Every structure is written in structure tokens, then in C-alpha cells.
Amino acid sequence: MKSNWEFFTSGRIVFGTGSLRKLAPALREMNAKNVLVVTDPGIVRAGLAEKALELMEPFDVIVYDRVIPEPPADSVLDCCRFAAGRNIDAVIGFGGGSSIDMAKMAAALLKYGGHPLDYFGGGNRIPGPITPVIAIPTTAGTGSEATSVAVLTDTANNVKIGISDRHLVPALSIVDPELTLGLPPYVTACTGMDALAHAIEAYTAKPYNDYPPDEDLIFQGSAPISDALALRAIELIADNLAAAVRFGGNLEARSRMMLGSTLAGMAFANAGTALAHAFGYPIGGLVKRPHGEITGLMLPYVMAYNASVQPEKMRTVARLFGVNPAGLSGKEFALSAARAVFRLLAEIGLPTRLGQIGIEAKHIPEIAEKTLGIGRLVRNNPRTPNREDLEKLLNQALRGELA
């Protein structure tokens, strides 16, 4: 059993309304001259990229604006070709998690070359420090501004992959809630559920001291600091997600969601995520739906599955959702956490059944098999599943039958 744990996060986090104005001074502190901005067409159309570019007029800036959701691994090569020969000093990921993850991997390949898949599997495969990354999220969801993970799509195997390496943690994260004010309700809901899944799975992950002492892990299980961060993130998201979805101009709700997302990212960057996220990779390969929608859908079913081995932590989550334990047995109170998340999904207009996103019974065996292959997440789940467990859980989610 492990007797110690570690904690990692971004080199520096600047949080708050108007914090985007800190970008130019930060670049000067880095002695950066040639800057690559990685973003997507929607950010450009919304005028958000222009806000950042106006602040960077003294620098030599090139903008790669071709990022698509759940970006294919090969697209990182396209980004690197775009920046070839420019002696890039800093890479800015400006947008949602896909843009930030693309920026992380582009920064790694600009320094060390190769293909993104060369760094997949086992964790910590990047040889050393990468080109400095500045993460500027425009959604309250992925927490990528505080993590050591980049999620891409392996198109050859039709599955999403997570590349984990401590060198991928951004040097600087600028978290400005004003940048989320224009997010549509559906995007707000999906990204918010992703953040909630990060927080709950980090909090209820296998304890760090259940791992062998000789393993150097990126995802090291739940530990005191990650627990504290995850609990505050759950509270913030439970209290503010519905308001942010319904009233997109509510800056207070947006700010609290942004803080919840960043705290959840800090928590799961250390504790790790678990089975709900493991399901997300093969399901995301079969149906082109937002990552947060998929993990959010699976979250209450996984919580119900895990309630028997993490009853006290699930009861704590239930309290944060305002569940009154009066008249409930200990088991029922633990399961009420899953039901509270299920109700939140319905309240914010997201699907609660796999059939609603195009998954059919014939897909269940393939999803279960591929999920078992996501070892770094499955082993982090507090309850160890077998294939039969996964198929049963998926069938429950197909029918919308929460335990």
C-alpha cells in the first residue's frame, strides 16, 4: 500500500473577471516573441479571439483556427506543420477543452516531434518540458487548464484516447468568466456536467493508499487535497449549473461555474477520473456527441454502482445537492446522490438514457470490451468491474433504469 501522495497543478492560475488583460504581461515575463494561438472557428466567429489578439499586438502571433470537437490525433500534425519554422516560444490554447488539449500536444510535438499516439499508453512518455503552454478556457467544463491530460480521437480504432504526462500541465492558466457569457445553454450544460463528473469521480476514486507503493502514477487516487478541491467543486456546480444554463448572462453563476470547473480539474488531475469517463471513450467513438454529454449521462449509473463501496462519500455528495436524509436508510441516502445527478440532467435538458444519443443494444458488448481496455480509469474506480458488470450497467443506462 502507498503511504504518500503528491499534488500537481498549473504553474500559475490567474482567475477572475477581466483577467484576460494579464495575457500580454505574462508573455513578456516568459520572454515570448513568437506565439502560436490554437483555437476553433466558433471562437473566431464569436469575436473572442479578436479580444486576445488585440492584447498581443506587440508579439509575432500566428493563429491556427481549425480545431474541431474531439480532435483527431492526426490534426495535431496539421497544427505543427502550420507553425513549422516559426521558432514558437509559447502556445496559447484559447477555447474549450479541445483547443487547450490540441495546444498541449502541439507544444509537445514542436519540441520533440513524432506523432501524438507515440505518447499514448502508460503515462509520462514525453521526454521533458514542452514549449510553454498558456491555457485560456472559454467554457466551464473540461478543467484542461489545470490538468496533465490531452484528449484526442484515435480515428483508426474509432475511440477517444487520453494522453497523460505531467509535462502537459500548462505553465499559465488565465481563467476569465466573462469569456463564457456567450455560451449557448446546451454547451453550458454539457461542459458543466463534464466538470461535475470530474469532481465526483475524483472524490470517490479508489483511495491513493490502495495502490502499490512502487508505482509512479499520474492518476494516484483520492487524497486529502484532491478531496477538498473536489468537494468545493461539487458544491459550486450543484448550486449554479442550472442557473448558468437558464440565465446565460448571470455573471455570478458563470463565475462560480468557472471556479468549480477549475477546482474539479485540479482535483482530477491528481486523483484521476474513473468508470464514467472510461465509458465515455468508446461511446464517444461510436456516436459523435459532446464528451460532457456522454460522461454526464453515465455518471449517475456509475455512482449507483459505486455506492455500496463508497457509501459515506456518496452521502456527502447527496448533502451537497441538498438531499434531506430524513426517513432514508444509509443505503438509500447514498443512492440518493446518483438520483440527484439524474434529476439535474433532466433539469438542464440533457439525455438520461443511452438510447437518446444513438446507442443500441447491439453496441453494448463492444462498449463493455473497449471500456475494460481503458485500464488507467477502470482501475481507479472504487469498485472493480468485470465485463458482466459493465454490460449490466450499460443496459440500465440504455433503458434509463437507475438502481
For residues 353-358, give the mean pLDDT: 97
Average pLDDT rounded to a whole number, residues 43-49: 93
Q: In this predicted model, which residue has the larger pLDDT, 158 or 230? A: 230
d(C-alpha 308, C-alpha 142), whole Å: 28
CATH assignment of 185-399? Answer: 1.20.1090.10
Give pLDDT tens digits for 357-394: 999 999 999 999 999 999 989 999 999 999 999 999 99
User: Please, are residues 175 and 262 in contact by the beta-carbon 8 Å criterion?
Assistant: yes
Angle separating helix axes 364-372 and 275-286, nearest 10 degrees: 130
The beta strands (E) that lie in 22-158 are given as 34-38, 60-64, 90-95, 133-137, 149-154
Hey, which residues does 172 pair with through a beta bridge?
A: 134
Q: Is a pLDDT exceeding 70 seen at residue 122?
A: no
The model's confidence at residue 350, banded by pLDDT at 50, 70 and 90, is: very high
pLDDT digit string (tens) for 8-38? 888 899 999 999 999 999 999 999 999 999 9
CA-based nearest residue to 76, from 107, 55, 51, 52: 107
Contact 133, 93 (CB under 8 A): yes
CATH class of 13-180: alpha beta
Counting beta carbons within 10 angstroms of the beta carbon of residue 249, is it exposed (0 to 12), middle (13 to 18) or buried (19 or more)?
exposed
Q: How far is CA 99 from CA 28, 130, 162, 194, 223, in A?
A: 23, 17, 14, 16, 29
* pLDDT surpassing 90 at residue 154: no
For 100-116, what is the mean pLDDT? 96
Task: Give 41 or 288, the one with higher predicted confidence.
Answer: 41
pLDDT at residue 304, as a whole number: 98
Q: What does the pLDDT read at residue 155?
A: 86
Annotate 193-220 with b (16+ C-beta within 10 A) or e (fewer): bbbbbbbbbbbbbbbbeebeeeeebbbb
Q: What is the mean pLDDT of the chain?
A: 95
Question: pLDDT digits over 275-316, tens only?
Answer: 999 999 899 989 989 999 999 999 999 999 999 999 999 999
pLDDT at 214: 82
**Confidence at residue 354, expressed as pLDDT on a 0 to 100 scale:** 98
Burial class, 18, CB count within 10 angstroms (exposed 0-12 / middle 13-18 / buried 19+)? exposed
- At 227 the pLDDT is 98
**Helix extents (H) in 97-223:** 97-112, 185-203
Percent of the chain with pLDDT over 90: 88
Radius of gyration of the chain (CA): 20
| Predicted local confidence at residue 156, as pLDDT | 86
More confident residue, 155 or 262: 262
Average of per-residue pLDDT across 201-214: 94
Select the more confidently predicted residue: 107 or 217.
107
pLDDT score of 1: 78
Closest alpha carbon to 262 in 7, 5, 16: 16
| 235-251 average pLDDT score | 98
Give percent above pLDDT 70 in the chain. Answer: 100
pLDDT over threshold 80, residue 123: no
Q: Where in the chain are the domains?
A: 13-180, 185-399
Q: How far apart are the first and last CA of the chain?
A: 32
pLDDT exceeds 80 at position 337: yes
Could you give the CA distance from residue 287 to residue 282 in angstroms, rounded to a whole number?
9
Transcribe 373-391 into DSSP letters.
T-HHHHTTSSS---HHHHH
β-bridge partners, 162: 151
